[in-house]
Amino acid sequence: MSYKFIDLFAGIGGFHAAFEELGAECVFASEWDPYARLTYIKNYVDCPNGLPEEKFVGDITKVNKEDIPDFDILCAGFPCQPFSQAGQKLGFEDRRGNLFFEIAEIVKVKKEQGKAPGALFLENVQHLLKHDNERTINTIREILRDVLGYRIFEFKVRASHHGLPQHRPRVFIIAMLDHESVIEQPLPKDLVFTISDVWHAYPYLDRSIGYTLRVGGKSSPIDDRRNWDGYLVNGEVRRLEPRQGVWMQGFPLKFDFPKGMSKAQQMKQLGNSVAVWAVRDYGQLIIDALDKSKRNSQG
């Protein structure tokens, strides 16, 4: 069975890459960062069978929710800065935190149209689960469960459990409209490749799993706890390049950045992205659950 999805707060398209690989079709996307938009356009709009340009919008708050095409799965790596230990921890008091309510409003409108999506797939930093003495996550749970009527599943996820050589701890929230649906956390997989493979360094790298890719900023000394991009490779301190970051995040080999985009901007976008293989593995579970729900409804 084929499914349609929308890609909110899309960044450079990690959700898009994962669900496209699973055979789903993107029918609408939003991203307001101008540089991330250029990268998304290059990879998912200006390409064969790409998303129509008019279906890739900037500010989701300015979109008439009734005009969004019908879809089966809502994907959203909603802005994590308000919930991150690296941010100001303002939660719903921050406008970016309030963007979660845009997700809820879209689903509410679709339910009123009789077109409620079967699944929601949300991603954020793990600190979301503790923010504001758990009041933030409890508000999200109450909206998804009590207001919108979904069954919720929450998972603490690491990219390294899905074959990628970085830890990247995140929380995935999956909400299913069919309350008979069950989503179980998959068993950890072996690494498909190691950080040594990324550096083509044998045997002189002292780790198999690399540091979590971050938004970037000034590099720290390699022995500093804030170091994220420096590695001792064959006795030499070296810094990650964007193509290595693309590999570590699980993007397909064809993925590329627009010509002339700075290295710092590329690394920032990669640091903001989801780990594609982790999303793909949970995306397959969602699709399997939707398939089962359809079969059961058809008798």
Task: Give the helix/strand (H/E) hosting 16.
Answer: helix 14-21
Given CA atoms 230, 232, 238, 241 in this order, what sign does their dihedral have? negative
Cα–Cα nearest to 4, from 35, 25, 34: 25
Burial (CB count within 10 angstroms: exposed 0-12, middle 13-18, buried 19+), residue 131: buried
47 is catalytic: no
Which amino acid type is present at position 277? W
Given CA atoms 82, 84, 90, 92 in this order, what sign does their dihedral have? positive
CA–CA distance, 168 with 99 (Å, rounded to integer): 23
- How do strand 119-125 and strand 25-30 relate by DSSP bridges? unpaired
Give per-residue burial for 251-267: e unless 16+ CB within 10 Å, then b.
beeebebeeebeeebbb
The answer to whether 42 and 51 have CB atoms below 8 angstroms apart is no
The answer to whether 270 and 246 have CB atoms below 8 angstroms apart is yes
Which amino acid type is present at position 36? A
CA–CA distance, 255 with 39 (Å, rounded to integer): 9
Where in the sequence numbering do the catalytic residues fall? 80
